[in-house]
Amino acid sequence: MSICPLHDKLDLSIFIHFHPFHMDSDSKGGFYMIEEMLAYNKKFVEEKRYEQYAASKYPNKKVAILTCMDTRLVELLPAALGIKNGDVKMIKNAGGVVTNPFGSVIRSLLVGIIELGVTEVLVIGHTDCGVQHIDSEMMIHHMKNRGISQESIDLMKYCGIDFEKWLAGFDTVEDSVRGFETIEKSVQESVELLRRHPLIPKDVRISGFVINTETGELMPIC
């Protein structure tokens, strides 16, 4: 049996539901932005605007893209690459990096490659990435300010997670001042991990790039 309480059949949805800071409205008594989105969605469906986005689950270009969740890339990256709905499999996380060789990023890529016909993988970092400036100690401090208890933080450590490293940005503080070099390094490390991964077929082409968040220019890295 695992020594981690979270691994012993704990329903995390229950844990989240009964967390004292889980609410259906914001602290001022209003609704979250989701209410506005739902209203828009209703009109979107009623007016059949979805018809222009019709596509299959198989990517037309046989490409999967791993990139950052940065808000500036939501429209810029597809526009800069000339891709539209149905063209690629898009995987996003904080930093656009592979942090675990058997985590959700790898699982998503394997599904895309083995089951959905992906033959190329692009790892795309970007300039001015917020992840490279993350200070894990400061983030933990901010968590506590938001009501996360030390007990909850310690629970992660009991599960074998190096919490500070897990939260940290790209490498060290020394690296963070190098800007682009740090982004370049993070892309290179993710690409190398994917190229060496035992479950990814060797005929899959894997490349790394950095996109400029102002101009959309794509710079080859590896």
Q: What are the pLDDT digits (tens) for 168-186?
A: 655 433 343 333 457 888 8
pLDDT tens sequence across 73-99: 999 999 999 999 999 999 999 999 898
Q: What is the pLDDT of residue 160?
A: 78
Provide the mean pLDDT of the chain: 83
pLDDT tens sequence across 187-199: 999 999 999 999 9
Q: Evaluate if residue 131 carries a pLDDT over 80.
A: no
Q: Evaluate if residue 161 carries a pLDDT over 80.
A: no
Encoded amino acid at 214, one letter: E
By mean pLDDT, which of 2-6, 8-12, 138-142, 161-165 is the weakest? Answer: 8-12
Domains and CATH numbers, the chain: 57-134+169-220 (3.40.1050.10)
Q: Quickly state the pLDDT bin for 41 (edges 50, 70, 90).
A: very high
Q: Rounded CA gap, 16 and 61, in Å?
A: 39
Q: Which position has the higher pLDDT, 38 or 178?
A: 38
Q: Quickly state the pLDDT bin for 125 (edges 50, 70, 90).
A: very high
Average pLDDT of the segment spanning 111-131 = 94
Q: Which residue has the tokens 């019709």?
A: 54
pTM of the predicted model as reported, rounded to 2 decimal places: 0.79
Q: Rounded CA gap, 131 and 125, in Å?
A: 11
